[in-house]
Amino acid sequence: MLDKARRFRTEDLSPVDELERLLERCRASDLNAYITLNGDEALDAAEQALQRLDEGDDDPLVGLAIAVKDNICTKGLRTTCASRMLADYVPPYDAHVIRLLRRKNAVIIGKTNMDEFAMGSTTVTSAFGPARNPWDPMRTPGGSSGGSAAAVAAGLCDAALGSDTGGSIRQPASFCGITGLKPTYGSVSRYGLVAFASSLDQIGPMARSARDVAVLFDAIRGHDPRDSTSAEAGCPPIPLEGMDLRGITIGVCRSFFSEGLDRDVERSVRHGLAVFEDLGAKVVDMDLPHLRYSVAAYYLIAPAEASSNLARYDGVRYGLRLCDERDLMEMYLATRSAGFGDEVKRRIMLGTYALSAGYYEAYYHKASQVRTLIAKDLREAFSRCDLLAGPTVPVTAFGLGEMVDDPLSLYLLDIYTIPANLAGIPALSMPCGFDGRGLPIGLQLMAPGHREDVLLGAAMTFQDHTRYHEVRP
Ligand code: GLN
C-alpha cells in the first residue's frame, strides 16, 4: 500500500487508472468479497485525489482504495450488514471513520461481505452468500470481516476496515495471511458502525503489513464527541519504523498452548516467539487463570447486548417491513422472521434469555463479574511484560461447509481473541508461517490499553525480519 502511495508521486501511476484496474479485478473475482462496489462515486473521488497529488498533498492515503466492511455506514452507498433486514438500506450519513478517510482523499472502493450483523467466524451467514478464501476458494476466509480480509489478501483493494467484537478482524486476518488490528476500545469512534455488542465493538484496519495498518489506524483514530465511549487521550505517536526489541518482555500464557491447538499452528507460533527472542526480546511464561472463561462470558454478554441493539429492526423504524399482516404483532413477527438469519435469531434468543427477570443475576451479571476478573488478569500480566503473544486462532482456514451446524465448536475457536475485547485492550494478528496445506497461520500480540505504538512497532520489526506478510496467495 505505501509502495503504491510512493509510486503515485514518483512514477506515472494515477489513482484513477489504478482504481479502474482494481474495479476490473473485483468484477472478475469469484471470491464474493464485496457486497457492493462503489463505481462512479469512487471514480470521482479518485479524480479528486489525482488533483490533490498534483497539488503536492503528502498524506500517504491520498488516492488509495480502501474497502469497508458493510456494517460501517457510507452516505449514499448501500450498507446491508449482510442481512435481508437491511438489504436496501442506504445511509443518509457517513460513519466518523469514513468522514476521516474522505477528508484525506482516500477512495472508498466498496462494501465488503461479512457474517450477518457481524455474528460469526466464517462469512457463511451472509445473506449474500459466503465469501471465499483466496488461498483456497473452497475454504472460509474467516469472519466476520471475511470479505475485507479476502479483498486485502487477493489484492482487490489497498487496505480495508473491519470491525472486531470478539475477534472478527484478527481471525480472518489469520485465515487470509494478512495483518489486522483491533484497537483499544474507545480509540476509534463507533459513530456510524451498526451496533452488535456496543461494549465490545471496535472498528480497525486490515492490510498486508503492520506499517500499512499503522498508517490506516493513525487516520481513523481520535476523539469523537458523537461516540459517548470515545476516549479523550489516545496512544503515543504511532511509529512507522520497527522498534528495538531488546529490553522488551513478551509474556506467553501457558493456556495458549492447550489442547485443541493444531500442531502446525503451535509449531509456527513457537517459531514466531523464537524470532522475537532472536531479536532481543525476553519471552516469559505467565498464568492468566481466568482467561479460560472468556468464551463463556462473551457468549452471554455479546448476545445480551445484541438482543437489545437488534430490537430496533421492527419493521417500523429501519429496513425491511412485511406489512400485509393484520396487526402490529404479526407485522413484527413476519418482518423479523424473514429479515434475520438463523445465527442472528440464535443470538437474540440467547441474549433475551440471559437478560430476563430471574436469570439476569445468574447469567448476565455473573458474566460481567468474570469479565472484570479477566481484565484484572491481563492488567496484572502487563505489570510483568510489555506484550502478550500467542496464536490468533487454534486452527487454519477450514472448508466452507464445515461447522455450519455446530455453533458451539465455532464459538470455542474464539478462545484467543475474545479476552482483548472483554478487557478493551488492543490486539493484532500477523502472519507467522503456513500449515502443511500452505494455509497461513496468524500470531496474535496484545498490549495494554492505548499502547498500539508498542504493538505496531514490535510487529513491524517482526515483519522486517520474517517477511511472511509478503507471501501472496
Ligand atoms: N466470532 C465472534 C462471534 O461470532 C466474533 C464476532 C465479531 O468479532 N464481530 O460473535
CA–CA separation, 235 and 149 (whole Å): 25
CA–CA separation, 79 and 364 (whole Å): 31
**Which pLDDT belongs to residue 152?**
98
CA–CA separation, 319 and 87 (whole Å): 8
Cell numbers standing for residue 400: 466452507
From the CA of 348, how far away is ligand 1's center (Å)? 14
From the CA of 42, how far away is ligand 1's center (Å)? 30
Please state the φ and ψ torsions of residue 429, each to the nearest 5 degrees.
-115, 135
CATH number for the domain spanning 260: value is 3.90.1300.10
Cell numbers standing for residue 454: 508498542
Number of domains in the chain: 1
**Which pLDDT belongs to residue 325?**
64
Active site residue 209: no
Q: Which atom of ligand 1 lies closest to the CA of 196?
A: 9
Pocket lining for ligand 1, CB < 6 angstroms: 118-121, 144, 164-168, 196, 302, 414
CA–CA separation, 22 and 404 (whole Å): 32
CA–CA separation, 267 and 265 (whole Å): 5
Active site residue 168: yes
For residue 133, list its beta bridge partners: 136
CA–CA separation, 462 and 177 (whole Å): 15
Active site residue 429: no
pTM: 0.97
pLDDT of the chain along its 473 residues, tens only?
999 999 999 988 999 999 999 999 999 999 999 999 998 999 999 999 999 999 999 999 999 999 999 999 999 999 999 999 999 999 999 999 999 999 999 999 999 999 999 999 999 999 999 999 999 999 999 999 999 999 999 999 999 999 999 999 999 999 999 999 999 999 999 999 999 999 999 999 999 999 999 999 999 999 999 999 999 988 899 988 999 999 999 999 988 998 789 999 999 999 999 999 999 999 999 999 999 999 999 999 999 999 999 999 999 988 899 876 678 999 999 999 999 999 999 999 999 999 998 888 899 999 999 999 999 999 999 999 999 999 999 999 999 989 888 999 999 999 999 999 999 999 999 999 999 999 999 999 999 999 999 999 999 999 999 999 999 99
Q: Whose CA is nearest to atom 10 of ligand 1?
A: 119
Cα–Cα nearest to 422, from 305, 303, 307, 301: 301
**Which pLDDT belongs to residue 260?**
84
- Write out the residue range of the structural domain in which residue 126 sits: 1-473
From the CA of 165, how far away is ligand 1's center (Å)? 6
From the CA of 363, how far away is ligand 1's center (Å)? 19
**Of 168, 230, 294, 307, catalytic:** 168
**Which pLDDT belongs to residue 151?**
98
**How many secondary structure helices (H) and strands (E) does the chain include?**
15, 11
